[in-house]
């Protein structure tokens, strides 16, 4: 019989993703076949995966002219479930995140079901009109459960969104469907964690309360013995144990799933503080990289690998003045290219980027950012909500973009700058490279301006090193080889894959040390206990 467990949280960003990832690796190390699962994600940070089950409807929908058979069976899932599958040492697949909502605005999201586009949903549909999504989510869970020893599920937001409980299939709705126990995670770094944990249980209706089996505290700093009186009182009042206290750890970062994790303007990527990054070549001063923090930024993990290089100073920016002194400006992906291009222009960043290039700086546009760098963007069918729109791009590349209803989902690979490189494509925009541009992986290049439709290319160590060497060369020429960045940059030896694997092992080590894994596994295997009820929810 398959065992399962739901990791819920008192709030968004309480640590659900971290705990699920840690448990996936810890239990995989014990020899269990583990699958991560999240019924519904709301995220613009996604990943292309192969539909390894080979279902009849899992077909490639790339109609851009490449061979359809070559890319058959691709789907799209949240990035967090992808990294959780990596942690569990299993092949990522659409069933691990059967419903993905990709916000295209404040009240409208594009829907992906089992890896494939499935229309849109509005904020009004959160209460009604989602029965078909719940059906798909439950079917995917049942399928995973039939093929794995243990399914570790991640909730969304809080399980105590009592205004949305009637249509919930991600938190307690899922737990009730599978009759699985629930562990609630609270972020002690925010304060008020004891009230949040107790209140999460107490506001639930009786049938839901019976499934809440325990708590985990996350991001604790200091002497854990100081928590003992509070933990004892919480257990006395709730009749539920605390199954562990995870410490705050400076060396942790994971592939994030939503905009809450995007660094604030002026701050660095979380990967930038990696103590395991090696000294980088002969550069005498840092390469300064400014990443435009677009309002609807997507796949922002594309720049994580740059943060591992100790001679790269990486910052997210929103103001034209922040580009001053940058060696490389990155225009990242976005879920709404036209809207974010308007935002770029309204802030004067379009002129700042052009001035940056004129002064000898380099620019890298990725997916939506690549489209913005071109001459024109056309949206004849209103894929981005602007039917018939034809908008000028920044004109730094000669390429043009045409939006189509069919989405490109690919896992391409090739060679660039003399190095092997691979990535993934998720986009509605088809680009056509102009005659004035040179070829560049999935896009085009003109001098110091680079554009690619491939996400994830900077994770390839050889390509990343070669690309940074080009940028360093531009910076050295601009400085007259006077020692700013130097015209020559030697490879740093940093391995992004090794750094990610080290983080997953660190997470599992922390789980082994600070969580009662035996009790958690026993809970998952035995199913929910008859837990006492708390008021006021007990009366509902």
Sheet with 242-247, edge to edge strand ranges: 34-37, 150-154, 3-9, 182-187, 212-220, 242-247
Straight-line distance from the first to the last Cα atom of the chain, in angstroms, rounded to the nearest whole number: 32
Pairing, β 449-452 against β 443-446: antiparallel
Beta-bridge partner residues of 150? 3, 34
- Got the DSSP string for 111-144? EEETTEEEEEEEGGGGTSS-HHHHHHHHHHHHHH
Q: Beta strands of 40-86 (E only): which ranges?
A: 40-42, 46-50, 74-78
Residue 74 is a catalytic residue: no
Q: Beta strands of 411-476 (E only): which ranges?
A: 413-416, 419-422, 425-432, 438-440, 443-446, 449-452
Contact status, residue 193 vs residue 217, Cβ threshold 8 Å: yes
Q: What are phi and psi of 263, to 5 degrees?
A: -55, 145
| Percentages of the chain per state (helix, strand, coil), in multiples of 5 | 35, 25, 40
- Crossing angle for the helix pair 496-514 and 16-29, to the nearest 10 degrees: 90
Alpha helix (H) residue ranges in 14-130: 16-29, 79-88
Rounded Cα distance between 379 and 458, Å, is 29
* Active-site residue identified among 367, 370, 386, 427: 367
Q: How far is CA 333 from CA 23, 55, 295, 383, 407, in A?
A: 31, 30, 11, 16, 15
Contact status, residue 398 vs residue 426, Cβ threshold 8 Å: no
Contact status, residue 138 vs residue 159, Cβ threshold 8 Å: no
Q: How far is CA 96 from CA 37, 112, 159, 196, 527, in A?
A: 4, 13, 19, 28, 21
- The continuous run of DSSP H or E covering 208 comes out as helix 206-209
Burial 133-167 (b: 16+ CB within 10 A, else e): bbebbbebbebbbeebbbbbbbbbbbbbeeebbeb
* Active-site residue identified among 110, 356, 455, 514: 455
Residue linked to tokens 């869970």: 141
Residue 367 is a catalytic residue: yes
Rounded Cα distance between 356 and 360, Å, is 7
Residue 483 CB coordination number (10 Å) = 11
Contact status, residue 450 vs residue 374, Cβ threshold 8 Å: no
Pairing, β 438-440 against β 443-446: antiparallel
Which residues form the catalytic set? 367, 455
């Amino acid at each position: 019989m398959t065992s399962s467990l739901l990791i819920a949280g008192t709030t968004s960003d309480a640590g659900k993703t971290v705990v699920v990832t840690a448990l996936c690796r810890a239990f995989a190390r014990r020899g269990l076949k583990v699958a991560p699962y999240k019924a519904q994600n709301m995220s613009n940070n996604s990943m292309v995966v192969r539909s390894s089950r080979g279902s009849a409807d899992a077909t490639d929908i790339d109609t851009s002219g490449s061979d359809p058979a070559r890319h058959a069976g691709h789907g799209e899932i949240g990035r967090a479930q992808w990294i959780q599958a990596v942690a569990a040492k299993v092949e990522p697949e659409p069933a691990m995140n059967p419903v993905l909502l990709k916000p295209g605005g404040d009240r409208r999201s594009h829907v992906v079901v089992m890896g494939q586009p499935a229309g849109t949903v509005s904020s009004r549909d959160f209460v009604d009109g989602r029965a078909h999504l719940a059906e798909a989510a439950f079917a995917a869970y049942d399928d995973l459960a039939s093929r794995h020893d243990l399914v570790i599920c991640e909730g969304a937001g809080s399980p105590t969104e009592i205004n949305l409980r009637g249509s919930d299939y991600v938190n307690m709705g899922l737990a009730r469907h599978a009759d699985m126990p629930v562990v609630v995670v609270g972020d002690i770094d925010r304060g008020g964690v004891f009230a949040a944990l107790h209140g999460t249980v107490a506001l639930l209706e009786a049938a839901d309360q019976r499934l809440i089996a325990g708590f985990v505290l996350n991001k604790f700093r200091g002497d854990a013995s100081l928590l003992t009186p509070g933990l004892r009182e919480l257990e006395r009042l709730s009749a539920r144990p605390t199954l562990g206290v995870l410490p705050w750890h400076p060396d942790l970062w994971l592939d994030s799933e939503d905009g809450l994790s995007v660094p604030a303007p002026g701050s660095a990527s979380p990967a930038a503080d990696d103590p395991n990054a090696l000294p980088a070549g002969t550069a005498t001063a840092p390469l300064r990289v400014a990443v435009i923090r677009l309002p609807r930024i997507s796949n922002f993990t594309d720049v994580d690998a740059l943060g591992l290089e100790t001679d790269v100073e990486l910052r997210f920016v929103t103001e034209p003045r922040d580009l001053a002194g940058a060696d490389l400006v990155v225009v990242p992906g976005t879920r709404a290219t036209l809207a974010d291009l308007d935002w770029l222009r309204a802030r004067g960043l379009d002129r700042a980027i052009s001035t940056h290039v004129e002064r000898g700086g380099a620019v890298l546009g990725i997916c939506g950012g690549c489209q913005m760098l071109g001459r024109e963007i056309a949206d004849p069918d209103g894929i981005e909500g602007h039917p018939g729109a034809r908008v000028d791009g920044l004109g730094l590349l000669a390429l043009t973009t045409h939006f189509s209803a069919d989405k490109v989902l690919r896992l391409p690979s090739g060679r660039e700058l003399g190095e092997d490189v691979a990535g993934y494509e998720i986009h509605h925009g088809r680009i056509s490279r102009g005659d004035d541009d040179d070829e560049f992986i999935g896009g085009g290049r003109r001098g110091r301006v680079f554009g690619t439709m491939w996400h994830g290319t900077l994770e390839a160590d050889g390509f990343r090193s070669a690309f940074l060497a080009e940028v360093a060369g531009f910076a050295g020429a601009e400085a007259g080889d006077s020692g700013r960045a130097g015209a020559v940059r030697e490879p740093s030896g940093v391995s992004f894959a090794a750094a990610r694997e080290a983080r997953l092992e660190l997470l599992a080590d922390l789980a082994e040390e600070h969580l009662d894994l035996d009790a958690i596994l026993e809970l998952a295997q035995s199913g929910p206990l008859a837990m006492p009820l708390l008021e006021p929810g007990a009366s509902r």
